[in-house]
Amino acid sequence: MLKSLSHVFLPVFGGTALVLAVAVSFANRNYGHSKIETLETRIGQVEAHAAVAQENAEAESKRAAELEIKVEEIQAAAAERVANGANLTASAPIRESSLGLGRSALKEEIAAWDVDVLPDGRGLPVGSGDVWTGEEVFVARCASCHGEFAEGADNWPVLAGGFDTLADEDPVKTVGSYWPHLSTAWDYISRSMPFGEAGTLTADETYAIVAYILYSNDLVDDDFELNNENFAEFKMYNMDGFVVDVRPETEYTEWRKEPCMENCKAEAAVTMRSVFLVETPAEGGSNSVMNNASPDELPTFSAEGPSFIPTAAPKPDEEAAAIPAAQETKVTDEVTELAAAGEKVFKKCKSCHQIGEGAKHSTGPALNGVIGANAGSVEGFKYSKAMQASAEAGLVWTDEEMAAFLAKPKEYMKGTRMSFAGLRKQDDIKALIIYLKTFGS
């Protein structure tokens, strides 16, 4: 376009100066045009910038407003906390008593102490828990000591089984077999378990655990849910096993007669000495030895100890070495001795197995005649799939198989339901097998 215009103007004005002037003016015009463009672009940019800045400013003021509200909220919460918390530490209203000591307990303080649960369900918090949740919590929080099935690990308390053993020489007192009220379990567990971490269970967890302990005791089915509403209805197995103590009425009155203070009896004679238990065995009971001192013998004291305590009976090994007996009698003696030792080892099995006349299935099958029998063959017991498979494969409980099983049940038979860690000592296993044989093989 510039070129065509210069062609039009040149013939009209002519002359170099003119040509120059025109050129300058064109150049100027040209400069002005690009400047406008530049300015326009700049304005556009500034406008865009301003818009962004405005947007930012708006966002920031909004955020500031939000933060302000938050600060107010935090301040209000803090003030409230101070107002409430201060009650616990700040001097409380002094009681109008003669001594002017102490203050009335706060509602919250009473609630924190008032945790007891009564047999009729009073004191229970609202909540619920089922057997399956209970199993999870129990395995995580309790099984390390009480065993996965509440059967008790090592020497920690057994919580399940032991039914109908209360009249035995070695009663197995568990939550299931012994405790008359379910509230005792709830209350005790909520206050004092897990051992060393008391107070860390929620109410729902406690309901679930108690449901699981009932299940471990075969007192409920696996779909059972325990809650604050059905709690009091639950009837424990041994609920009628306790009697009311009437001695205050029947006996104490006898003892509370006017005591004789003078000229009561011509002479007092010692007629019997107390008996002394010696070498109290770890398991208590049957091994105890009584002294046979007669009332006339006065005790003597020597380096061996007081005369009324007989020197400890020789250990079985020493005894066997000390008394060379005829081979025959020694063998039978040994068998009887081993069977007796086996009977003691069997205490570890008793929470789950019965043996002897009238033995019934409990957690595990009755064990009469088990040595030499086909595995998994006792009528009426529901074995695990693993035991059934072993039975189908023809497993027979020979001494060797039994020894291997009892040493490490879970390793010997993957998937067995017998939840028992195993016997560590070969001697125990040997003795136990001989004991089992005394009930047929």
Interface with ligand HEC (CB under 6 A):
141-142, 144-146, 149, 151, 156-157, 159, 173-175, 185, 188-189, 193-196, 201, 209, 348-349, 351-353, 363-365, 367, 370, 375-376, 378, 383-384, 386-387, 397, 406, 416-420, 423, 432
Cα separation, 204 vs 99, in Å, equals 44
The nearer residue to ligand HEC, 135 or 308, going by C-beta atoms, is 135
The nearer residue to ligand HEC, 121 or 372, going by C-beta atoms, is 372
The nearer residue to ligand HEC, 45 or 426, going by C-beta atoms, is 426
What tokens appear for 411 in the block? 């390793």
Q: Smallest distance, Å, CB 199 to ligand HEC?
A: 11
Q: Smallest distance, Å, CB 433 to ligand HEC?
A: 8
**DSSP annotation string for 160-204:** S--TT-TTSSS----TTTT-S-HHHHHHHHHHH-STTSTT---HH
The nearer residue to ligand HEC, 308 or 435, going by C-beta atoms, is 435
The nearer residue to ligand HEC, 141 or 430, going by C-beta atoms, is 141
Q: Smallest distance, Å, CB 258 to ligand HEC?
A: 42
| Sequence-ordered list of residues with C-beta below 8 angstroms from that of 142, at least 6 positions apart, any chain | 150, 193, 194, 209
Cα separation, 340 vs 434, in Å, equals 9
The nearer residue to ligand HEC, 309 or 404, going by C-beta atoms, is 404
Q: Smallest distance, Å, CB 418 to ligand HEC?
A: 3
| Sequence-ordered list of residues with C-beta below 8 angstroms from that of 201, at least 6 positions apart, any chain | 137, 141, 189, 190, 193, 194, 209
Q: Smallest distance, Å, CB 236 to ligand HEC?
A: 13
Cα separation, 258 vs 179, in Å, equals 40
CA 43-47-51 angle, to 5 degrees, is 170
Q: Which candidate, 141, 144, 177, places its Cα nearest to that of 159?
A: 177
Q: Smallest distance, Å, CB 341 to ligand HEC?
A: 13
Q: Which candidate, 392, 345, 407, 396, places its Cα nearest to that of 370?
A: 396
What tokens appear for 428 in the block? 């125990």
